[in-house]
Amino acid sequence: MKLSALYILLFLCYFLPFAQAQTGKHTYRFKNEFTVAQPECGPNVVPQKAAGSCSAGSSEGRFIGETLPCGERRAVYHNNMNSGLMYPNTDGFVSESYTIQLYLKVTDWGQARARIIDFSNGTRDEGIYFKTAPGTNSHCLDLSPNGIIGECPYFNSSTYYLLTFTRDGATGKMNIYVGNNLFTSFIDTNKNYVGKAGVPIYIFRDDSVVSCESGEANIAYLCFRREYFSRDAVNRSALEICFEANINSYADFSITSSPDCDPSKNVEVKYTGPIPAPGTGYDFKWGWDGAQVISGSGMGPYVLRWTTGGPKYVTLAVTSQACGNTLENGKQIIIGRPTLTAEVAPGSCDTGTDGTITLSAVDGVSPYQYSIDSVNFQAANTFQKPAGHYRVFVKDANGCTTGQDANVTFTSDIIVSTMPDTILCTGQSVALATTSNGQAFSWAPQNGLDNASVMEPVASPETTTQYIITATKGFCTQTDTVRVTVSPKIEVNVTPDALIEYNVPFQLNATSPQIRNYAAATFLWTPALGLNNANIQSPVAVLRENQSYTVDVTSELGCKGSGQVNLSIKRQESIIIPTAFSPNGDGKNEVLIPVVNEIESIRYFRIYNRWGQVVFFTNQLNTGWDGSFNGNAAVSGNYVWEIEGVSTKGKVISKKGAVMLLQ
């Protein structure tokens, strides 16, 4: 009997060298496809219904999900009853020396026996079968026409088995293995199990010689090789079937880097697939994600270096030069330190709940550990902390550490706002106007404050001071700041005391080093006597007598200062006679008296009427004519006078003139 074509993933024995690299094997893994594994150059296998009169279903089979013994869940091919797989063998790839491997689980053993492999294309009944052991639910291998071989019963319906059929064309020796157990070894003298060019090889498909010898199976791996396998090669195949049934390793490679936190360290990349060096018959195309190639070419190995840290992606595409089939693979490597992110959830002032710092890391090598002090690390990535500034850390599996700042705040409706910065004059005070919904207050520093524990103290600082108010509500505080600048006392510099000319304009001036803007300052000179403007910085004084002035200066800030200046009139020898006088008894200008400066004595002072008579004579200082003549009031009119005096320095001064007498 024959079993319809069984879909099976054949273990890829990549440890053995390729006699012909392009056509050394044809591998099928049935992950939702019947194509040969890339970059191999082989035909597709084709589902076919059994020959003869067997009743097959509407389809030859289907792909289903299956969890393999290795633990991986993946697609496999389920072969329906009375159907199987056809390998074309058009060019005689499988001939007298070969190895065929199947990795399968039989789910229905058929009526009596089910054909596993058929080389004859239905021309002979010789073949390899599963056969049910008499009186049991277990099954054996049957080599027709020789009968049962190996341990029997052996097979069940819940286990995946690796079947290896290998033939040595030079000797005709045929070996059949289940796993690494040799079930039979014989000389195939008649070449019953030999492939022929143009004659298909059928898997789990019955022919028409004895029809309906078929079963059902889940096939995970199928491989045809054009070489004979030794016992060691079979042992390696059985050991690696979990890998080979699931992984196409033609584009496999390894990345080796020392666990160093410096992203500038070298990295070694090695090809680890089954193609032997130097990779004849294949093209190797690498992608380095920006790395500098220090050394290496072709299939490698390579030495690389990245100048930046983070995840890097290395790719390899292996292409067969014979048919252009390509297999691509990529692997990630983490270069340098991990990247840390800190998210902070604020605490609550009202309840006193601490804030939460949640850390997350990427890059680097997991698993990660976290710390709030760079000394004690933990697997948990959250920390409960009161309000404050913290430095948090992550350390990866390589011991590389990254730190970041985290600021924990508290949610609260507390507000505090004090007055804008202000300026005081020396000796002045100011109430620090403040608004707040706080429950308690403190000011710092306390110097110059009447009460540092109230919301609005009075400040009288001696020097410029920055005050900080702290308002407290519940578990939280809030601060604000006001700067009180103390302006120094106004120092007034006035024109120095001076001896000035009689009745000659003299410039006065007042300045202060504390005043920067004189246009905004005010000045007041007192008394205003003799000044052209008593309200300016630099008035002009015209004096006939000695005079002292006080100037009061007010700065743009309202700070005050004052200064004084004493002006003395220069005394010159002079005799001055008024031009008119009126001795009429009204108390004004009643006597004509000489005005003298620096005169020690008068030799004579004479007054004449129009007829030349002397109406008045004196030789005494500070003595004058009262407007009478011979005891009677003189008549109004012009009178002539002459005077001669001696100065305090002995100088003789003589003068003549006229005066008008008004009665």
Whether 649 contacts 659, CB under 8 Å? no
Whether 474 contacts 350, CB under 8 Å? yes
pLDDT band at 336 (very low <50, low <70, confident <90, very high): confident
Is residue 211 scored above 70 in pLDDT?
no
pLDDT tens profile 515-569? 889 999 999 999 999 999 999 999 999 998 899 999 999 998 888 999 999 999 8
Predicted local distance difference test score (pLDDT) of residue 260: 63
Find tokens 């024959």 and name the residue.
2
Predicted local distance difference test score (pLDDT) of residue 208: 64
Predicted local distance difference test score (pLDDT) of residue 5: 32
d(CA 131, CA 152): 10
Is residue 349 scored above 80 in pLDDT?
no
Q: Is residue 14 part of a domain?
A: no
Q: Is 120 found in the same domain as 72?
A: yes
Burial class (CB in 10 A: 0-12, 13-18, 19+), 202: buried
Domain span at residue 609 reads 574-661
* Residue 641 CA to its chain's centroid (Å): 106
Mean pLDDT computed over 236-242: 91
Mean pLDDT computed over 292-316: 91
d(CA 214, CA 223): 21
pLDDT tens profile 415-455? 999 999 998 988 889 999 999 998 899 999 999 999 999 99
Question: CA dihedral defined by 137, 140, 142, 146, rounded to 10 degrees?
Answer: -110
Q: Is 103 found in the same domain as 192?
A: yes
Predicted local distance difference test score (pLDDT) of residue 310: 78
Peptide bond into 88 cis (omega under 30): no
**Percentage of the chain modeled with pLDDT above 70:** 94
When mean pLDDT is compared over 48-57, 201-210, 609-618, the highest value belongs to: 609-618
Mean pLDDT computed over 292-317: 91
Query: Which one of 320, 352, 368 terminates a domain?
Result: 320
The DSSP-derived string for 601-621 is EEEEEEEE-TTS-EEEEE-ST
pLDDT tens profile 264-276? 788 999 999 999 9
Q: Is 97 found in the same domain as 125?
A: yes
Structure-block tokens of residue 437: 């919904």
Q: Is 509 found in the same domain as 657?
A: no
Predicted local distance difference test score (pLDDT) of residue 121: 57
Positive or negative torsion for Cα 175, 177, 181, 184:
negative
Q: Is residue 206 part of a domain?
A: yes
Average pLDDT in the chain = 88
Q: 253: number of CA atoms within 13 Å, CB side?
A: 30
Q: Is residue 11 part of a domain?
A: no
Predicted local distance difference test score (pLDDT) of residue 122: 53
Q: Is 429 found in the same domain as 364?
A: no
- The CATH number given to whatever domain includes residue 541 is 2.60.40.10
Q: Is residue 198 part of a domain?
A: yes
Is residue 136 scored above 80 in pLDDT?
no
pLDDT tens profile 489-513? 889 999 999 999 888 899 999 999 9
Mean pLDDT computed over 344-348: 88
pLDDT tens profile 12-67? 333 333 333 334 899 999 999 999 999 999 999 999 888 766 776 678 999 999 99
Predicted local distance difference test score (pLDDT) of residue 125: 59
> In the chain, how many domains are there?
6
Q: Is residue 2 part of a domain?
A: no
Mean pLDDT computed over 384-411: 89
Q: Is residue 365 part of a domain?
A: yes
Paired with 162 in beta bridges are 103
pLDDT band at 145 (very low <50, low <70, confident <90, very high): confident
Structure-block tokens of residue 489: 């006392």
Is residue 71 scored above 90 in pLDDT?
no
- The CATH number given to whatever domain includes residue 43 is 2.60.120.200
Q: Is residue 9 part of a domain?
A: no
Positive or negative torsion for Cα 581, 584, 589, 592:
positive
Predicted local distance difference test score (pLDDT) of residue 1: 35
Q: Is 518 found in the same domain as 421?
A: no
d(CA 320, CA 273): 14
Predicted local distance difference test score (pLDDT) of residue 13: 34
Mean pLDDT computed over 593-601: 90
Q: Is 362 found in the same domain as 230?
A: no
Is residue 628 scored above 80 in pLDDT?
yes
Kindly report the number of other CB atoms within 10 A of residue 527's CB atom.
11
Query: Which one of 548, 569, 590 terminates a domain?
Result: 569
- For the chain, the distance separating the N- and C-terminal CA atoms, rounded to the nearest angstrom, is 177
Is residue 4 scored above 60 in pLDDT?
no
What is residue 519's DSSP assignment?
Answer: G
Kindly report the number of other CB atoms within 10 A of residue 198's CB atom.
10
Q: Is 134 found in the same domain as 95?
A: yes
Q: Is 214 found in the same domain as 78?
A: yes
Structure-block tokens of residue 100: 């065929």
Phi, psi for 626 (deg, rounded to 5):
-95, 10
Predicted local distance difference test score (pLDDT) of residue 217: 94
Q: Is 652 found in the same domain as 556?
A: no
Pairing of strands 266-271, 282-287: unpaired
The DSSP-derived string for 222-284 is EEEESSPPPHHHHHHHHHTHHHHHH---TT-EEEE--S-S-TTSEEEEEE-SSPPTT-TTEEE
Structure-block tokens of residue 493: 């510099």
**Percentage of the chain modeled with pLDDT above 90:** 63
Kindly report the number of other CB atoms within 10 A of residue 388's CB atom.
11
Predicted local distance difference test score (pLDDT) of residue 123: 57
Q: Is residue 330 part of a domain?
A: no
Is residue 126 scored above 80 in pLDDT?
no
Q: Is 190 found in the same domain as 42?
A: yes
Closest CA to 162 of 108, 226, 237, 229: 237
Predicted local distance difference test score (pLDDT) of residue 8: 32
Query: Which one of 355, 382, 411 terminates a domain?
Result: 411
Q: Is 385 found in the same domain as 520?
A: no
